[in-house]
Structure formats: structure tokens, C-alpha cells
């Protein structure tokens, strides 16, 4: 009973994070496609918004799949949280990928902007400086690392690790049940042919 409650609670939390990422997918997409965004943004900002939308969409799908698989009544398997090479590799890949997702982009002065990145919660902050040079003909841009929030990063790592474990367990369970069904069907056909 406790296992079902824990699995259900993790599933609901994971679904909520999936919806949170989906919200940011829409925010990034609207920012990239808005008239002000298309006409007023430099091309690199639009590309960043499109890339960010793609990354948040990937995370939305992963979190929604993981959450749904945790709360489905037909899913009775116990999630194994023991680290494996596959799980650790997936975790590292997703953390690195999450840095491409931009959460906030706000002006701090006339030439500087602050950018927050990371999923599911922003843990990196960058400062971007834009200015005019060559008598106003060309732009220069400089992006520098400002800060990292270790507590948020650890939280993100734990959340993504739980999601990876649930997804791997679900996919492994589905492939195992499919192979068992195939072998039972195949052995049934052999017995029928022998009979």
C-alpha cells in the first residue's frame, strides 16, 4: 500500500513538472513567434528561443510519460533507483541539454540583459551585454557566466534522476512483457503445429 501511495505521489509531482515545462514551451514559442519578437529581436535571440522551445518540449514529454507510467493502475512494477551506466549517462545528457532551455530574459540596463537557464528549474544565470560599435553599424555581444544555484541544481538532478529511473523501468517492463507475449505466442504455435 505504501509503495502504491509513493508511486502515485511521485507520478503526480512528475506530471505537474511536465505541465510546468509545457507552459515554458509555450512561453518560449510565443516569444519567438510574436510580432515584437520576429521584428524586434536579433536573429540569435530568435534561434535561442526556438531551441529553448524544443528542449522544453522534450522535457515535457519525458516528464508526462514518466508521471503517467507511475500512476497508471496497470503499472505494478517497482521502480529501481539503483544507478546504472544507462541511467547516469541519461542523467548527464539531460542536465547538459537542460542548459539550452532559457527560462527568463530580462533587461538589467540599456545594454545588458540577464538570462536564466536550466530545467526543470533555472539554476544558471548569465549576463549578456550588447552595444554598438563602428559608428553604429555593427553589434558586439558578450555573454558571461554570473552564478550557479547549487541547491536548485541538486533538486533538478534528483527530479531528473527519478524521471529517468521511472522511464527506464517502464520501457524495460514494456519490452520484457512484449518479448514474453511473443515467446508464449510462438511456443503456442509450435505446440499447435506438433499436435
pLDDT digits (tens, 9 = 90+) for 21-38: 898 888 878 877 766 554
Tell me the sheet residues that pair with 115. Answer: 105, 126
Give the pLDDT score at 38: 46
The pLDDT value recorded for residue 193 is 53
Which distant-in-sequence residues (6+ apart) come within 8 Å of 119 by Cβ? 21, 55, 56, 59, 98, 101, 156
Distance CA 37, CA 111 (A): 17
Spell out, as residue ranges, where the chain has pLDDT lower than 70.
1-4, 34-44, 73-78, 131-141, 173-195
pLDDT for the residue numbered 155: 94
| CA 161/CA 149 separation, integer angstroms | 18
Spans of all domains in the chain:
2-176
pLDDT tens per residue, range 127-160: 887 765 555 555 566 777 889 999 999 999 999 9
Amino acid at each position: 500500500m505504501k509503495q502504491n501511495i509513493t508511486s502515485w505521489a511521485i507520478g503526480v509531482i512528475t506530471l505537474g513538472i511536465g505541465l510546468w515545462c509545457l507552459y515554458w514551451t509555450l512561453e518560449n514559442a510565443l516569444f519567438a513567434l510574436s510580432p515584437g519578437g520576429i521584428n524586434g529581436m536579433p536573429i540569435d535571440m530568435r534561434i535561442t528561443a526556438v531551441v529553448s522551445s524544443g528542449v522544453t518540449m522534450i522535457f515535457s514529454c519525458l516528464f508526462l510519460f514518466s508521471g503517467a507510467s507511475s500512476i497508471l493502475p496497470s503499472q505494478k512494477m517497482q521502480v529501481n533507483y539503483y544507478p546504472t551506466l544507462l541511467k547516469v549517462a541519461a542523467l548527464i545528457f539531460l542536465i547538459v541539454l537542460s542548459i539550452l532551455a532559457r527560462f527568463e530574459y530580462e533587461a538589467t540596463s540599456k545594454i545588458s540583459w540577464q538570462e536564466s537557464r536550466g530545467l526543470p528549474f533555472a539554476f544558471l544565470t548569465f549576463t549578456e551585454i550588447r552595444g554598438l560599435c563602428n559608428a553604429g553599424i555593427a553589434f558586439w555581444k558578450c555573454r558571461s557566466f554570473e552564478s550557479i544555484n547549487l541547491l536548485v541544481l541538486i533538486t533538478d538532478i534528483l527530479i531528473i534522476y527519478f524521471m529517468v529511473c521511472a522511464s527506464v523501468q517502464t520501457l524495460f517492463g514494456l519490452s520484457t512483457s512484449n518479448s514474453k507475449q511473443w515467446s508464449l505466442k510462438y511456443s503456442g504455435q509450435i505446440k499447435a503445429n506438433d499436435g
